[in-house]
Amino acid sequence: MSDNIHINIIERYRLWAANNPSIIQDVEIFLRGFSYFLTGYIKESVVLSEFVYSLAQLISVLHTRVVMRNSSISSSLVSVLEDFLRVVKCVEVFLEIAALRLGGPAARWMLLISLQIFKAIIKLIILKKSGKILLPLDQERRQSVTQTYKNQYYTLPCSGRRIRTIQAAPAVYARTWEPPETGKDHRAGFLEPLQYLGETLYLVKPVLHLAAVGRYGEQAWTPFILAITLDFTSQGLLGSKVESREHKEEVLRRWFAMANYCLRSPFYDKKSKFVILGVLRCIERCLPIGGSVVASFREYLPEYQKIYHYIWVQD
């Protein structure tokens, strides 16, 4: 009886969400904007701000899971593990800040180590099952990529000939007059042994970095050098042979994400801190409109830089 009631509630919610698709998005936008407001204008609001932001992300994840459970989201082991990672990603920053406020640095580091080991194990299982590079846990992005490939062409039922759709046709000067691709690049992309090693290094890097921090200290150069060396090695191995478009885009995204090393200790504290703060002060003085926003960001930057999951976690 209770199972039937539960199913009816889910079905009613799915029907309501299908008829009112913008309401959930409006709620998410409001909560995220409200979290930014709390950060910039209410003193000692970091925990509350992150709680509100985590709530917005959880609503988005749960909404997507409930609405699309029977369509594009499968119930395979990989899908279930990815859902676990999405939930952890939604609350990890809030848990880190709450652990620091309630239990001090020791509780924070215990939480960080536990979360990173848990995430590394799950990601390694996903890597073993899929054999492909792990993409960011962005369901909307994955659906858009899949839909893009799906809408590029259609197949004639009798001859089997592929015809490019009007929407997918390039400009006249860029046309090659060749048959459209069948999405092979999207389905391909299985990692070769060296690429598999590179992806494994990338997945275990947070655990190795935290182990080095525990051994040498947070302000030591050894954990920083270890992390950046693992990143460069992983990127070199993963980029040795790129066949899939998704693979290429993910490798490029990780290259850009390495700009976060400018905000990572000890490089930030000893090298880039004064340059970054100086640039922000200059922008704040030069902007007639929006200077208060830059000032709020500059004041929040020290807090942001102390949060491990903002600075060191790239997934």
pLDDT for 206 equals 94
pLDDT for 49 equals 81
pLDDT for 200 equals 96
pLDDT for 240 equals 79
Cβ distance 128 to 77 under 8 Å? no
HSE-CB for 59 with a 13 A CA cutoff: 17
Q: Return the sign of the alpha-carbon dihedral for residues 52, 57, 62, 63.
A: positive
Its pTM stands at 0.77
Could you tell me what percentage of the chain is helix, strand and coil, using 3-state DSSP and rounding each to the nearest 5? 75, 5, 25
User: Is residue 57's pLDDT more than 90?
Assistant: no
Cβ distance 226 to 214 under 8 Å? no
Amino acid 19 reads: N
User: Is residue 272's pLDDT more than 80?
Assistant: yes
CB burial of residue 39 (10 Å; 0-12, 13-18, 19+): buried
pLDDT for 187 equals 46
Three-class secondary structure of residue 282 per DSSP: helix
User: Is residue 207's pLDDT more than 60?
Assistant: yes
pLDDT for 236 equals 93
Instruction: Tell me the pLDDT tens digit for each residue of 132-167.
Output: 899 887 654 455 444 444 556 666 666 666 666 665
Q: Give the rounded percent of residues in the chain with a pLDDT score beyond 90.
A: 31
